[in-house]
Structures are given as C-alpha cells and as structure tokens.
C-alpha cells in the first residue's frame, strides 16, 4: 500500500527529480567533477561560437560542425533569455527548466482512466542515467517538443502536427512522431507549418540548409552499430583509424564507405517496414466494442400447445434520428454512417508506441549513435508508459538498461572505446545489443498490437492480435 501511494504521489516524484537534477547541475557547472572528458565544452565553446554568428542573422555555414536544421538556432540563441548569466550557465539552467516542464506534462498525462504515473517515473529515472551529457546538449529541448506533440495528438491533432514540424526543424527525428497518428489533420498541419517555417528561414537567414551537405559527408561514428565491425577489424590488421571528423570521433579508412552504405540501406529498410506497418494497420479491423458484440442466441422453450397472444397496442414513436437508423438508411457523410474501414485504427497509446519504435529503428541503423540520442528514446519511452495499454514495457526496460551502459562508455570509459580495447568493445556491444533488442521486440509488439491476421487475407472475422485484444481503458485517438 505504501509503495502504491508513493508511485502516485507527486511529492516523491518531485523529490527524486530535484535530487537527481541538482546533481546534474553540479556536474555541468563543475562544482563536482564527473569522470572522463569534459562534456560541457560543446556548450561553452562550440555553441557559444555559433551563438555569436547566429546573432548576426546568418547560419555558421562555414563551420562543418554545424549539422543541424535551421530551427536549432532557437536552442542556441535561447540563453539570451537570461542575459544576467554567462552563456553556458544560462544554457544549463534553461535545459533544467525544460526538463521540469516535461515532467509536468508526463505527470498530467499519467492521470485518469487507463493512464499511469510510470511514464513520469521513467523520465525522472532515465534522464540522470545518461550523466551530465544530457544537460550539455540541446537534445533534451528537442525531446520536450516531441513529447508535447505525442501528448497533444489525441485531443489537439493540429497542434500535434505543428509541434512535430517544429521538432523536425530542430533535429529531424521528431517528424517520426507522426507515423502512428490517426487522421489527416496532424499530417496537414505538419506539412503546412514545416513548409512555412522552413521557407521563412530560407528567405531571412543565409545558409539555412547547409547542414544537408555536411550530414551527407559524415563517416561511421565510433559508437554506432556499424562501428563494431572496425573495432574488431582493427585487432586483425585493419589499416584505418579514428579521427575527429565533422565534430565527432569517426572511423576513416578502407571499407568505411561500404559500412556507411549498408547503414543507410538498413535505415531505408526500416522506413519501408514502417510504411508497410502503417498501411496494414490502417486496413486492419478495429477493436470490437463490447456493445457491438451480439449475444449468443439462447434456446427458447417450445410450448406444448399454441397459446393466443394479446395484440400489442401501437405506441407513439419519437422522431427517428440519423443515429437510430440502420447503417444503410443513414445519410451519406454522417459521422455514424461511416463504415468501420473509414474509422481510425489507432488507440491513444498507438501513436506513442509507433513513435518509440520508429525512433529506435532509425537510431540503431544510423551511422552515428551519440550518447545524447538516448534522451530521445527515454522521452518517448516515458510517453508510452503513461498508457496502461502500451505494449512497450519490455523495450522501455531495455532502453533504460542501455542508458546506464551508455554513461559507462561515454564519458566514463570513452578512451577505451576510441582505442578499441576489449572493454570498450564489450561496452559498445552490450549497449548496441540492448538497443537492437529493444527495436526488434518493440516492432514485433507494435505489429501484433495493431495488425489483425484477418487483414492478411485470412477468413473473415478470424481472431487475431488487433489494436487491443480486450477492450482498452484508454480512449481512441482523434481522427481527422
């Protein structure tokens, strides 16, 4: 009973959040020293230099380390909101404030029928597992936008689409939160909002899309899944090496282009799977409501002799509404006359589950898996766990375990990773293996949760793992 009340009480949640975030601030402000290389130099040196250029109304297009979409300028310029603090200090304080805002959103989303406070706890526990790096990059700000988009999807689909567009112009990946949203409204809002904002940047600030060239020329980063090939090959005489390239430590040498091409091919395959899932899930029969199920016919006793029955007196009938008419007699275009195939196939938790799986797939197939990428997954995992009906319990646990291993390989033992020592290789293999397992388990759970066997050409009415095997407590997502 005590444990249950602790899980529901915001007092414990805020207390743990406050203690862990104070520790993170002490590390990034260098009151305490975290083992490994200094992770704050990106903010105090690189971000600060970009800030000075962006203040002039142009992007740092001559700097190859600038590899971000144009709206990233908002995050880099944000410390100007606190002019009484040094740039780095203001940045860390703002990240902490955004962290608190995400917690508030998750706590509110976890209340009510079919919801759970576990989502907020995933955020409170998962973020500090990544160490001070999570406060020394702007990725937490991007994650906040993606979390807000997913939580808005049910009631405010246009707002969700607009937020997804802003997130995509911050760091591309938040566009993936759209994949599980039902209806056209979020997609239209994202397309219109994204095009408008991108056009505004292109017209007003030179070099807005120079990052596309820099991204195309990147190699294989030492922490990625493909990098394990070269970590092992180095011990067998591979002639390449590790160099600082485009702002990160990357493998350069023979066959790097091949591995890079394979990684991009796997990303394309992941996109193809997501497209197939979306089509199949949209065509699958929706979950059957208990009200729609006809009761089993009960045998009626037969009288031995027919008995005369009194004739019922006609009763006045109320005017027939479109809702009470049989489907074939309702006016075309009325809401209740739509066939089941036209209704949304996605429950409220589906958007979160699909976004989590999509980002997992593209993370593990990417040429770069920087430590801060894990905060994307932690944020989406937290949204999933706000819904009791979510099928992502195991993948979320695997991502949290991967986050703990990530802080060990960077920054704590990053020298071993760069040097391809057995310890460094083992850490990468475990971390990347956990992420691959989370992606595969999550993809399988998403498919089984949303794609019914009957849609594959089986016998009509065949039972299969649909959106919800039992009536779900969470409400359907709004369809446009």
Q: Residues 361-366: what's their mean pLDDT? A: 97
pLDDT range class, residue 453, cuts 50, 70, 90:
low
Full-model pTM: 0.84
Average the pLDDT over 275-283 and give the result.
93
Q: Which of the four pLDDT bands, split at 50, 70 and 90, describes residue 243?
A: very high
Q: What is the mean pLDDT of the chain?
A: 85
Q: How far is CA 215 from the centre of its chain?
A: 22
Has residue 265 got a pLDDT over 60? yes
- Whether the per-residue pLDDT at 456 is higher than 60: the answer is no
Least confident of 145-149, 417-421, 460-464: 460-464
Q: How confident is the model at residue 2 (pLDDT cuts 50, 70, 90)?
A: very low
- By the 8 A CB rule, do 162 and 190 touch? yes
Q: How confident is the model at residue 340 (pLDDT cuts 50, 70, 90)?
A: very low
C-beta of residue 475 within 8 angstroms of C-beta of residue 348: yes
Q: Kindly report, residue by residue over 170-186, the tens digit of the pLDDT.
A: 999 999 999 999 889 99
**Tens digits of residue pLDDT in 44-69:** 999 999 999 999 999 988 888 888 99
Around 164, how many Cα atoms within 13 Å sit in the side-chain half-sphere? 29
Instruction: Please tell me the predicted confidence (pLDDT) of residue 206.
Output: 82
Q: Where is average pLDDT lowest: 88-102, 271-285, 420-434?
A: 271-285
pLDDT at 331: 39
Report the pLDDT averaged over residues 397-406: 98
pLDDT at 465 over 90: no
CB atoms within 10 A of CB 274: 20
Average pLDDT over residues 286-291: 45
pLDDT of residue 216: 66
| pLDDT confidence bin for 1, thresholds 50/70/90 | very low
């Amino acid at each position: 009973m005590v444990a249950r009340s602790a899980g529901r009480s915001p007092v414990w949640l805020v207390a743990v959040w406050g203690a862990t975030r104070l520790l993170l601030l002490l590390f990034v402000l260098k009151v305490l020293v975290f083992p490994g290389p200094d992770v704050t130099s990106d903010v105090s040196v690189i971000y600060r230099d970009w800030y000075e250029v962006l203040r002039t109304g142009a992007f740092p297009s001559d700097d190859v380390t600038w590899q971000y979409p144009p709206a990233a300028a908002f995050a880099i310029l944000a410390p100007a909101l606190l002019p009484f603090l040094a740039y780095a200090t203001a940045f860390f304080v703002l990240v902490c404030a955004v962290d608190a805002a995400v917690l508030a959103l998750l706590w509110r989303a976890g209340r009510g029928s079919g919801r759970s406070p576990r989502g907020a706890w995933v955020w409170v526990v998962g973020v500090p597992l990544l160490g001070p790096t999570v406060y020394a990059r702007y990725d937490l700000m991007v994650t906040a936008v993606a979390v807000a988009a997913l939580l808005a999807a049910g009631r405010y689909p246009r707002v969700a689409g607009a937020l997804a567009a802003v997130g995509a112009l911050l760091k591309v990946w938040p566009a993936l939160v759209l994949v599980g949203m039902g209806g056209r409204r979020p997609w239209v809002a994202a397309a219109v909002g994204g095009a408008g904002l991108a056009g505004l940047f292109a017209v007003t600030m030179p070099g807005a899309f120079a990052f596309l060239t820099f991204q195309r020329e990147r190699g294989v980063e030492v922490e990625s899944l493909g990098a394990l090939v070269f970590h092992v090959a180095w011990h067998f005489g591979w002639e390449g090496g590790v160099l600082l390239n485009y702002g990160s430590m990357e493998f350069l040498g023979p066959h790097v282009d091949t591995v890079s091409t394979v990684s991009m091919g796997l990303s394309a395959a992941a996109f193809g799977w997501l497209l197939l899932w979306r089509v199949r899930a949209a065509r699958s029969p929706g979950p059957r409501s208990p009200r729609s199920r006809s009761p089993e016919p009960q045998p009626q006793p037969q009288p031995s002799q027919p008995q005369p029955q009194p004739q019922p007196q006609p009763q006045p009938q109320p005017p027939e509404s479109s809702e009470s008419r049989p489907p074939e007699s309702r006016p075309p275009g009325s809401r209740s006359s739509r066939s089941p195939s036209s209704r949304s196939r996605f429950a409220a938790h589906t958007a979160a589950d699909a976004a989590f799986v999509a980002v997992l797939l593209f993370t593990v197939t990417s040429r770069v898996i920087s430590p801060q990428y894990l905060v994307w997954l932690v944020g989406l995992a937290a949204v999933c766990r706000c819904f009791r009906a979510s099928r992502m319990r195991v993948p979320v646990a695997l991502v949290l375990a991967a986050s703990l291993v990530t802080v060990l390989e960077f920054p704590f033992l990053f020298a071993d990773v760069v040097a391809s020592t057995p310890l460094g290789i083992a850490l990468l293999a475990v971390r990347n293996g956990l992420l691959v397992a989370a992606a595969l388990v999550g993809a399988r759970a998403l498919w089984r949760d949303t794609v019914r066997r009957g849609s594959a050409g089986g016998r009509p009415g065949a039972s299969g793992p649909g959106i919800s095997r039992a009536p779900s407590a969470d409400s359907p997502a709004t369809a446009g």
